[in-house]
Homo-oligomer: A and B are copies of this chain.
């Protein structure tokens, strides 16, 4: 670690103070901060001399007092920090955290108010936040609005999803500012659990691309005690501004001072690969708060899920007696509907499969009482988290799984009744530990209860943090679905292995994820943290699962293997049915082999919405793995292996699309071949339309 240097400059007793400016360590990025004539703080950001963000306002509007104008700049502090840290898991064994920091101290009078703006300029972007210190005239701030602006200077291309307080399960649009309103008008209200924000609103994480070829990934870091940030867009002005989900009283956040907001983040580069490689969001999060992390273990898993999700024949519910009441009905007196896969015998088959193939875990959905109702009727009580259906023998399964070295993963679907989940939380986690579970998938499908709240509101942000912290108390790992989208908190709470929080692989079951979708997620959603995308789909014909369906998932089989590299996650599913893996054992070998934790990552090729090629080194061996994917178009990936240690030979096992492969009509056409390579090699891999390639490199020096 290099030494940290500090400097401080306090205001002299002059009327106005000079604007502050700071460069990133390499000088690529320049940040300017000033206070305008109205006393509103403003900032701008330039990259290699070109404007990224033009003069944009900052400020917070409290109900009691405003922090938006009337300010004078009273002092600044600067620091240069260069340090590194070792994540418990991730894309890199070591992450460098290197930035220059500028703290701008502001004062407004009548009444006296103090605000500090803290900026960190990295070589790959900017993070800034508001800090409200202790002060006499604002012990609390009931936050009504955050005024943060992001003004751009041209009609850039946006990659974004509609603004919604309750869901982020949308496809991304690629659209200029000038076309955004039309696109959003068509998208409104399509999702059952959504409450669309009024106006022209989008969500982060989102990406911009300028006509000069600069990429800007816009998001936030360390979302704690604050609602998630959406963005109001003024299209003609090319301007976005923060939009926070209000609660029933129109309040965005209840803040007690001293308080820091989340960081607003811009990852900036003229090389798309830098956006993918950036660890800026993680760097802006607090270090790990869990002292003993030895129990946190990245894993692959299969699950009793896809057979219900795809088919509309099998059910999460044990019974078709829709009148059955969780906790009241004696389910043992009801007949099973015979279509309930979360039964002991079937789960044992999954355990056998996982054990045979070295898959760490088995997720079981539909094991507990409450599924007859699902999220219908928004009842105050919904699921029971310590009451299994009569055909799911918790004790037998614990013993069966333990004997085979397989980890059962619990499922806690809450039907968005977060209040009810909190009511049961300690008991639910106790039940898990008593029965040998150390990981849980949580779900929040539906409209949030408490009914004053949204998926993105402060209360829910608090809720999810509470769940993660309590889980850590019980040494439980968490994979959250339908929770507020991630902002790098997995650094602070590494038991939070993954989240969904985007349109996942499950939409492939409806044939509606185009190949481009997984070419944009790593630029956007994944900047907040790993996604439980559920790759590994080998059977892509929808009719296979459901006679009534036609169509096809937007992927070849080989591409599904590549997703284990391009969509990295420490909790990675193999989503398909065991029977489909048994049909393609040679291809499944790659899923068996591929790690879920890495010592290094190299992004080799990238263009949002079009293609990604990445190489990663296994954290526990000298093997490298490579994944390459393309969009709807065939492509030749050029894989330059110069990152390999010079002089060392590797055997490459290449899983690739066959020549005639195509996601639409020939997705299962793949080849597996081997080749000897070294750091001088350049592999040219043809990717089919919707295709991909996955490669394992094993050292063969001896």
* Chain A residues proximal to chain B, CB less than 8 Å: 134, 139-140, 142, 225, 247-249, 254, 256-257, 322-323, 325, 373, 376-381, 419, 422-423, 425-427, 449-453, 458-459, 462, 466
Chain B residues in 8 Å Cβ range of A322:
139
On whether the beta carbons of A323 and B139 are closer than 8 Å, the reply is yes
Contact of A377 among B140, B381, B451, B462 (CB under 8 A): B140
Contact of A451 among B249, B380, B425 (CB under 8 A): B249
Once the chains are docked, how many angstroms separate the CA of A417 from the CA of B419?
A: 12
This chain's copy number in the assembly: 2
Q: Kindly provide the distance from the CB of A371 to the nearest chain B CB, expressed in whole angstroms.
A: 14
Once the chains are docked, how many angstroms separate the CA of A247 from the CA of B452?
A: 9
On whether the beta carbons of B256 and A325 are closer than 8 Å, the reply is yes
Q: Kindly provide the distance from the CB of A336 to the nearest chain B CB, expressed in whole angstroms.
A: 20
**What would be 6 A-B contacts, judged by CB atoms less than 8 Å apart?**
A140-B379, A248-B248, A248-B451, A380-B458, A380-B459, A423-B425
Chain B residues in 8 Å Cβ range of A380:
225, 254, 458-459, 462
Contacts A140-B377, A249-B378 aside, 6 further interface pairs with beta carbons under 8 A come to: A134-B323, A139-B322, A142-B377, A248-B452, A256-B325, A422-B422
Chain B residues in 8 Å Cβ range of A248:
248, 451-452
Once the chains are docked, how many angstroms separate the CA of A376 from the CA of B257?
A: 14
* Contacts known (A450-B453, A459-B380); A323 close to B257, Cβ less than 8 A: yes
Closest to A247 in B: B451
Once the chains are docked, how many angstroms separate the CA of A458 from the CA of B466?
A: 25
On whether the beta carbons of B419 and A256 are closer than 8 Å, the reply is no
Q: Kindly provide the distance from the CB of A459 to the nearest chain B CB, expressed in whole angstroms.
A: 6
On whether the beta carbons of A254 and B450 are closer than 8 Å, the reply is no
Once the chains are docked, how many angstroms separate the CA of A248 from the CA of B449?
A: 11
Contact of A419 among B323, B422, B427 (CB under 8 A): B422
Once the chains are docked, how many angstroms separate the CA of A642 from the CA of B455?
A: 68
Once the chains are docked, how many angstroms separate the CA of A273 from the CA of B225?
A: 56
Once the chains are docked, how many angstroms separate the CA of A248 from the CA of B322?
A: 27
On whether the beta carbons of B377 and A450 are closer than 8 Å, the reply is no
Chain B residues in 8 Å Cβ range of A452:
248, 450-453
Chain B residues in 8 Å Cβ range of A419:
419, 422, 450, 459
Chain B residues in 8 Å Cβ range of A449:
450
Q: Kindly provide the distance from the CB of A171 to the nearest chain B CB, expressed in whole angstroms.
A: 30
On whether the beta carbons of A256 and B379 are closer than 8 Å, the reply is yes
Q: In the A-B complex, list the 10 residue pairs whose CB atoms are closest, starting with the nearest.
A: A450-B450, A452-B452, A426-B426, A451-B452, A140-B377, A254-B379, A248-B451, A422-B423, A380-B462, A422-B422
Chain B residues in 8 Å Cβ range of A381:
462
